[in-house]
Structure 1
Amino acid sequence: MTTLQDFSGRSALVTGAASGIGAACARALAARGAARLFLVDVDGAGLDALDLPGEVHRITGSVADETLWQALEPRLTGLDHAVVNAGIGSGGPIAGLSLAEWRRVMAVNLDGAFMTLASSLRAMEAKGGSAVVVASTTGIKPLPGIGPYGVSKAAVAHMARIAAVENARKGIRVNAIAPGGVDTAIWESGEDFQRSVAAIGREATLKAMAKTTPLGRFASSEEMADSILYLLSDAAANITGHVMVSDGGFTL
């Protein structure tokens, strides 16, 4: 019997697919029957390490590279689903940031998300489909020291809502998800995180960070993937333009 979250025979694009939420989405899509996957990441070795059934196209490169999308888009024709996930972190107060650092984050998190979504929408135009943009609770709740990241995530969430209005009559649904703390590799680049891991270990560091979350825990990438696949699937057929917050109560 066909289930509402069955992706049998469908095609999907996942960016930032080599690790974390992206890799969890790729594995979950494959496990639920997706026949053709397009996986994009700068980490080619990470993509190669994903052992997935079906037809898997691994594209190594940055989502911020326009030429990547110019080459890939013709191959995406007839795409069913897209997970707009690739992103990088940044730290420091706004007054202390250089324009170069601001642009480094925006190039991937905003410009890259725009090119990913735009290419996906064009590829879905003939028969419809669905996309989920990975935003963040930092785009909803202002936190100090992560200006470009939070701003970029607020922007992509609103981009998803605009795209939802623009494409609804084409049978294309666009939603966003705003995770709170998730145990992924994005934390590794933070100096404070590195110092804490060196002092007390990674697990204790994450547990300490999660104290600001009412549920007292960070989510796993697999939990985020489950929510993303719900929004992609036919089970969410009447949902578009929604920003789903999955944060253990952090934004309360």
Structure 2
Amino acid sequence: MIQGYDFTNRTALITGAASGIGAASARWLDRQGIARLILIDLDGDGLSKLDLSCEVETHAADVADEAFWQALEPRLGKLDHAVVNAGIGAGGQMAELEFAEWRRVMAINLDGAFLTLSTALRAMRKAGRGSAVVTASVTGLKPIPGIGAYGVSKAAVAHMARIAAAENAAHGIRVNGIAPGGVDTAIWNSPELEAQFAEHGREAVIGQMGKTTPRGRFATADELAQDIGYLLSDASANATGTVLTSDGGYTL
């Protein structure tokens, strides 16, 4: 194992763990020797298909459900790390966006992130140490027309991570965020792109979209998992309250 990347005897909680960045983070931690993973996603079938060698506890649950977290917290036990990752994509101009859609996005992306992080922080405080990473987005840093609710929610969780870092450093807990650019995950499987996928093929459409970045392609979920793993690990012991931009140069 790389120095500072030993997760032996540690426990991590990951939301949005059934696919994409969450699943990739679970696989990465498993390869680094994590002892136990607590995986949460509405997609229970997706969670059951993850092939992991460590001890795994899965919950098919809505991260925006306060009652779920209230029931889980007393049973969490030891918690060393958290990946606050569950989220949904959404489109729509601010002037046309219905409030119900705004609230749907905020419930999962912001309220769910708050419930996850606050629960994880209390568990880590009992242990006297820990680290968490919150998945934000470059759309929370750079205004992108047409995805206002999503961008606002991601700007909010990035700042939430900074505030949590300031509040918990004295408890031996580090909190950082990550702001991905385009990542080839299921978040792009939206009604808006279905016609293009049907006509040109998903790989071709995603490839063309990726050319908008200086790197020339979207990142993979595994690449983002490595960035998240670094922020969770002891190798980043001096980093807290940062939001790592991992976007292939998109925000340059």
Partner of 1:162: 163
The alignment partner of 2:226 has SS state of: helix
2:188 matches 1:187: yes
Deviations 1:81-111 (A, max 9, x none): 0000000011110111111000000000000
Cα offset, 1:2, TM superposition? 7.8
Deviations 1:37-63 (A, max 9, x none): 100000000000012112110000110
> What is the count of residue pairs matched by the alignment?
251
Partner of 2:13: 13
Where in structure 2 are the equivalents of 1:1-252 lying within 5 Å?
3-126=3-126, 127-191=128-192, 193-252=193-252
Cα offset, 1:208, TM superposition? 1.2
Identical residues among aligned pairs (%): 67
Distance in 1 (CA, whole Å) between partners of 2:138 and 2:18 is 22
The alignment partner of 1:178 has SS state of: strand
Distance in 2 (CA, whole Å) between partners of 1:240 and 1:51 is 31
Calculate the aligned-residue CA RMSD, in Å. 1.0
Distance in 2 (CA, whole Å) between partners of 1:106 and 1:140 is 17
Aligned partner letter, 1:173: R
Aligned partner letter, 2:228: I
Contact 1:176 1:244 in 2 (8 A): yes
Distance in 2 (CA, whole Å) between partners of 1:81 and 1:209 is 33
The alignment partner of 1:13 has SS state of: strand
The alignment partner of 2:182 has SS state of: coil
The alignment partner of 2:95 has SS state of: helix
Cα offset, 1:31, TM superposition? 1.2
Q: Which runs of 5+ in 1 are unaligned?
A: none
Distance in 1 (CA, whole Å) between partners of 2:32 and 2:17 is 17
Distance in 1 (CA, whole Å) between partners of 2:215 and 2:83 is 26
| TM-score, scaled to structure 2 | 0.98
The alignment partner of 1:94 has SS state of: coil
Q: Which runs of 5+ in 2 are unaligned?
A: none
| TM-score, scaled to structure 1 | 0.98
Distance in 2 (CA, whole Å) between partners of 1:70 and 1:189 is 32
Greater mean deviation of Cα atoms: 155-164 or 197-206: 197-206
Distance in 1 (CA, whole Å) between partners of 2:54 and 2:188 is 31
Aligned partner letter, 1:162: I
Aligned partner letter, 1:199: E
